[in-house]
């Protein structure tokens, strides 16, 4: 049955974790990261078209559960995502997610997907996309502080999109660092495991921080960061959860996804609400000719924004027919006569009477 007929609209394609793994092995993770970055770039060029709102967060002592909606007028998406830094102690992920894409004209869902892996992919693609615009040209060395679930995706995103070939790892948990180094073997990186964040940033043109701790942490001090470095700050994404010392912010050019959300959740929650910060869409619309002052430090204050998830879902949707990796879910109660919903739940005997 072709998708899109009356009957098929009740059957919604669902991409499970298993499907996602197969899609990645069929397409190749670096190709996916590149194509995802292209989709995100395209959508940020269409910034004005999108509904925008800070995500809706429900905080608890242990973490946060969030909903992230947006629409470009033709399609609507939302993601459910959590952030629980202590989950790993129970053998659980810090971040898990799922989400949906729907057709605005009917309101019917057209795709449901796991988004835990997709979030790691889209976060890495967004980080690397921003570094394409902001990092020193020809940068090859990246320090990667925090070597948990996001780290390998980040490393591969920066390889595919920016050309990073040397990775300097550090994590307070040596097992996490070892896991990351092992996973990155065979991908063409020169990998160095370091004894401290200070050691990891030595000689790095790009510093990625992806640590998880629900506190105002200081992963990077002002004196650790040399002039002209690009910082990709991924882990500070919640009120009271930051990674950079305020002094670094005060001497850097700062870029963010969507200011009303980042002022609440990002590194810039440490600054006044009128502190100048540039939104990502403006530099994407300006194009790549933007001159870079080699003496200035740049910071991408990443928190993750709904349009990146929209881009990721529409990208995934474009792959499902080709990959065949989905299962149809009987999700929409949609009777032949739209006003006879009750008829669907009447006992069989009564229906045929």
Applying CB under 6 A, the residues found at the interface with ligand NAD are 83, 88, 94-95, 119, 123, 145-150, 170-173, 176, 197, 210-213, 217, 219, 234-235, 237, 302-304
d(CA 15, CA 116): 12
Nearer to ligand NAD, 10 or 270 (CB): 270
Quote the CA–CA distance of 168 and 16 in Å, as a whole number. 33
Active site (catalytic) residues? 237
Closest CB 350 distance from ligand NAD, rounded Å: 51
Query: DSSP assignment, residue 193?
Result: E
Residue 190 C-beta: closest distance to ligand NAD, Å = 21
Of 216, 212, 218, 175, the residue nearest 198 (C-alpha): 218
Three-state secondary structure string covering 260-284? HHHHHHCHHHHCCCCCCCEEHHHHH
Looking at beta carbons only, is 101 or 201 nearer to ligand NAD? Answer: 201
Minimal distance, residue 260 CB to ligand NAD, in Å? 16
306-323 and 17-27 helices cross at what angle (nearest 10)?
A: 80
The residue whose Cβ lies closest to ligand NAD is 148
What burial letters (b/e) apply to 146-164, b meaning 16+ CB within 10 Å? bbbbbbbbbbbbbbbbbeb
- Residue 331: phi and psi, rounded to 5, are -110, -25
Q: Quick one: 237 or 320, whose CB is closer to ligand NAD?
A: 237
3-state SS, residue 228: coil
- Minimum distance, C-beta of residue 66 to ligand NAD, in the bound complex (Å): 10
User: Nearest distance from residue 282's CB to ligand NAD, in Å?
Assistant: 19
Residue located via tokens 């989950």: 87
By beta-carbon proximity to ligand NAD, the closer residue of 41 and 110 is 41
């Amino acid at each position: 049955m072709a998708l899109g007929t009356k009957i098929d609209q009740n059957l919604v394609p669902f991409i499970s974790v298993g499907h996602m793994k197969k899609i990645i092995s069929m397409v190749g993770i670096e190709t996916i990261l590149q194509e995802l970055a292209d989709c995100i770039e395209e959508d940020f060029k269409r910034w004005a078209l999108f509904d925008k709102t800070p995500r809706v967060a429900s905080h608890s002592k242990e973490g946060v559960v969030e909903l992230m909606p947006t629409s470009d007028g033709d399609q609507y998406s939302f993601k459910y995502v959590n952030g629980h830094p202590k989950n790993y102690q129970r053998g659980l992920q810090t971040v898990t997610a799922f989400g949906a894409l729907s057709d605005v004209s009917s309101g019917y869902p057209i795709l449901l997907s796991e988004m835990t892996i997709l979030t790691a992919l889209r976060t890495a693609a967004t980080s690397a996309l921003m570094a394409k615009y902001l990092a020193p040209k020809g940068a090859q060395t990246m320090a990667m502080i925090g070597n948990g679930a996001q780290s390998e995706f980040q490393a591969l995103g920066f390889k595919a999109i920016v050309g990073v070939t040397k990775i300097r790892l550090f994590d307070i948990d040596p097992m996490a660092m070892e896991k990351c180094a092992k996973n990155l073997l065979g991908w063409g990186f020169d990998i160095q495991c370091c004894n401290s964040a200070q050691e990891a940033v030595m000689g790095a043109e790009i510093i990625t921080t992806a640590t998880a701790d629900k506190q105002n942490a200081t992963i990077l001090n002002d004196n650790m960061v040399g002039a002209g470095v690009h910082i990709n700050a991924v882990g500070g994404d919640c009120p009271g959860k930051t990674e950079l010392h305020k002094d670094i912010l005060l001497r850097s050019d700062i870029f963010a996804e969507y200011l009303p959300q980042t002022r609440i959740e990002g590194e810039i929650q440490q600054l006044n609400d009128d502190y100048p910060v540039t939104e990502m869409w403006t530099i994407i619309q300006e194009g790549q000719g933007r001159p870079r002052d080699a003496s200035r430090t740049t910071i991408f204050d990443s928190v993750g924004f709904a349009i990146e998830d929209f881009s990721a879902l529409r990208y995934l949707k474009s792959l499902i027919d080709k990959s065949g990796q989905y299962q149809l879910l009987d999700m929409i109660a949609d009777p032949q006569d739209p006003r006879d919903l009750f008829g669907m739940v009447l006992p069989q005997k009564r229906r045929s009477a």
